[in-house]
Structures are given as C-alpha cells and as structure tokens.
Structure 1
C-alpha cells in the first residue's frame, strides 16, 4: 500500500504565534486520519517550505501527497504560485502522485462553519 500524506499549506508570517491555529488544525486533522501523515508547510517566512517538506516526505517513503491550501480564497498565491510549485515538484519527483485541492475558504461547508461562528458571536 502506498504511504500517503496530507500537506496543509499556509502562507507563513514573521510572528511565530501566527502559525498556532494552523498547528491546531494539523493536530485535529491528524487525529481524524491516523493512517495518513498530516504535515504543515508554508509558502514563505516560516519553515518548512513546501519543496523542503515534499523532499522529506518522499525520502520517508510517501508516494501520494495531497496539498490543501489553508487560504481563505483563491488569490494570487493559490492561483499562480502554488500551481508553479506543484509543477516543479512533479518534474522533480516523476513517480510521485501529487494532488492539490482548492483553497479551504472556497468550500461551502467551511464557509458555513465560519458563518455559524460569526452568528454565534452576537
């Protein structure tokens, strides 16, 4: 069976506290999918960056990776930067099955959960 990994891909920031919600999301996701390696990668300003993490996961024997952009919308980073990175990674690792999902904020269930939270603050 092919070893699988899920990469939560976030922007990154200079302040390390910014990453805390993403680390909690990683832990929650890992708890719900114990048979999959769930990792967190960043576009910039924080480590690991996506290429570094993919190299590590491939070295550990992962043959199937799914990248989930933990971005609110499909902006420039998700529409331009991520597809370029994915293509470069596919060329670097031709045997790797590498998929990319849409930004989490584009999902109706995610938006519904955020709306419910917003209403709950009233």
Structure 2
C-alpha cells in the first residue's frame, strides 16, 4: 500500500474569520514547500474544519499518515489535555491511519529563535504614525 501523507496545522480558532488569515498564509507557504504532502488547517473550536472532521475527510481521500502540528505558542490545556483526547478518539475511529503529533510550534527552538529575531528587529522599526 502506498503511503499518502498529510500535514495538519492545528490552531485554536476564533469567532472572527479574519483571525485565521495568518494561519491560512502559513498553510499556503507550507503547501508550496511540500507539494507532495497534503497540507491542511484544522481548528479546536469556533471555526471549521475541526480536527475530527478533517481527519475523516483525509481518511476518506486515502490519506493514511497524518502529522499534526499544534500552531500554539505554548503547551497549555488545549495541547496538553484536549488534543490528546481528540487524538485517542481518532486513533480508535481510524486504526488504519498513523496519526502523530509534534510539539507545539512555540515550544520549538527554531520557532522561538525566529520570534526573537523578529522582536529584536522591532527595535529598529520606526514608530507608527
């Protein structure tokens, strides 16, 4: 059987649709870098698709290897409690699919370095009018 891979960027979600714009840009940038992998965006709450809905759709499309990247700055309750429960349920519902989760983006040293670079660079930016 051929492995069909997906990368799911998992974000919190918000009531304002505009909140998702940076996550959509991140998804699009990632898709451009990994054209052989299906890259999607899923949400914990308040926006669609939610993670279980997306995994169902991916599985229906023949995806059998899913990596979930929590696009959170820290490992709060959603990443430490809510996400593992969702993943356990998904693994029971789709035992033929490999679903793994990596550390929250904000816990990664390279991400923190990029954010630090941005913050330091802010010192040389002119003040807004």
TM range (shorter): over 0.9
**Counterparts of residues 28-47 of structure 1 (less than 5 Å):** 28-47=29-48
Instruction: Determine the C-alpha separation between the residues in 1 that align with 2:99 and 2:50.
Output: 16
Q: Give the TM-score of the pair, scaled to structure 1.
A: 0.99
For 2:35, what is the secondary structure of its paired residue?
coil
Question: Unaligned 5+ residue runs, structure 2?
Answer: 124-129
Question: Unaligned 5+ residue runs, structure 1?
Answer: none
Q: Over aligned residue pairs, what C-alpha RMSD do you find?
A: 0.4
Q: What is residue 81 of structure 1 aligned with on the other side?
A: 82
Displacement, 1:99? 0.3
Displacement, 1:118? 0.4
For 1:12, what is the secondary structure of its paired residue?
coil
Q: What is residue 127 of structure 2 aligned with on the other side?
A: none
Instruction: Determine the C-alpha separation between the residues in 2 that align with 1:121 and 1:89.
Output: 42
For 2:100, what is the secondary structure of its paired residue?
strand
Alignment size in residue pairs: 122
Q: What is residue 104 of structure 1 aligned with on the other side?
A: 105
Displacement, 1:10? 0.1
Runs of 4+ in 1 over 6 A off after TM superposition: none
Displacement, 1:37? 0.2
- Rg comparison, structure with higher value: 2
Instruction: Determine the C-alpha separation between the residues in 1 that align with 2:32 and 2:9.
Output: 14
